[in-house]
Structure 1
Amino acid sequence: MALRYSREHQWIDGTDASAAIVGITTFAQDTLGDIVFVELPEPGKTFARGEVAAVVESVKTAADVFMPAAGEIVEVNEALRADPSLANTDPQDAGWFFKVRLSAPTELDELLDAAGYEAVTAEG
C-alpha cells in the first residue's frame, strides 16, 4: 500500500506488513517551522487511532502527533531524538517518528491517499 495521510498531517507507510512507519508531512513541518525537539513514544506502548503518540516542538509552537491507525509501538527513530532537525530536512524519509505494529490494518483504508491529502492542504 502506498503512503496514506491523516487530516492531522501525519503520514503512514504500511507497505511493510510487520510494522508501519509514521511521521509528519512536509506540510506539517512547513507550518510548524524549525523543529527543535521531539518527544517519542516508548516501544511496547499501544495507542488507539487518534490518540496523541508523540509531541514536536518548534521555534513557533508545540504540536501533538496523533496515531493514524491503532497499534503497538515497536521502534522509535533514535536518530530523530538525537537530531530533531531531521524532521525539518527530510520529514517524509529520514525524519520518520516511529514504527507501529497495526492492530487494525483496515484503518489505513479510512485515511487519505496523496490526491485526497493534497486537496485537504489546498483548503488551507
Structure 2
Amino acid sequence: MSTLPTNLSYTEEHEWIEDRGEVSRVGITQHAADALGDIVFVQLPEVGEQIEAGQTCGELESTKSVSDLFAPVTGEVVAINEAVEEDPSVVNSDPYDKGWLLEVRVTSTGATLTAQQYSEFINE
C-alpha cells in the first residue's frame, strides 16, 4: 500500500479532497482504484452542475463493475479532468495527481477523515 498524501482529506466512500482555496479538487483514492481494477470509463458531472455531499455525482466503470462516484463536498463543479475521460486508466496509475476527477467551488463539506484516520479505516 502506498503512502497516503497527508495534505488531502478523505471520505469513507474512498474519495479524496484537496483544498485549493476557493476551489477543491476531488478524486478517488489508490485503495478505491485498486479495488475497482482497470477503470475503462468515467462519467463525471457537467461543469456548472451543483453537486451535494453524500450524493452520487458520477460513475466509474471498470472491467469488474460499475461504481458510483459520491460527492465529498457540496458546491458547483467548475472543472472536470478531460484527460481521465479520454484515458480512464490514469485514475489507476496516478489517482492523486493526473487522475483527479473534478474541481468544485465548495459551499460545504461532508464528513472527512485525515490521512491517518482513512488509513485506519481501510485497514480495519
Q: TM-score range by the shorter chain?
A: over 0.9
**Equivalent residue of 1:103, what SS?**
strand
| TM-align CA RMSD | 1.3
Write the letter of the residue equivalent to 2:9: R
1:39 to 35, 39, 43: 43
* Residues 1:68 and 2:69 aligned together: no
TM norm structure 1: 0.92
2:33 to 8, 29, 32: 29
**Equivalent residue of 1:94, what SS?**
coil
**Equivalent residue of 2:22, what SS?**
coil
Distance 1:91 1:80 in 2: 10
* Residues 1:99 and 2:100 aligned together: no
* Residues 1:20 and 2:21 aligned together: no
Distance 1:27 1:96 in 2: 14
**Equivalent residue of 2:121, what SS?**
helix
1:58 to 42, 62, 73: 62
User: Hey, what does 2:15 align to over in structure 1?
Assistant: 10
User: Hey, what does 1:111 align to over in structure 2?
Assistant: 112
Distance 1:43 1:9 in 2: 22
What is the count of residue pairs matched by the alignment? 119
Per-residue deviation, residues 56-88 of structure 1 (Å, max 9, x unmatched): 000000101111111110000001100001011
TM norm structure 2: 0.92
Q: Which runs of 4+ in 1 moved over 6 A?
A: none
User: How many Å apart are 1:47 and its aligned residue?
Assistant: 1.2
**Equivalent residue of 2:12, what SS?**
coil
**Higher relative strand content:** 2
Gaps of 5+ in 2: 1-5
**Equivalent residue of 2:59, what SS?**
strand
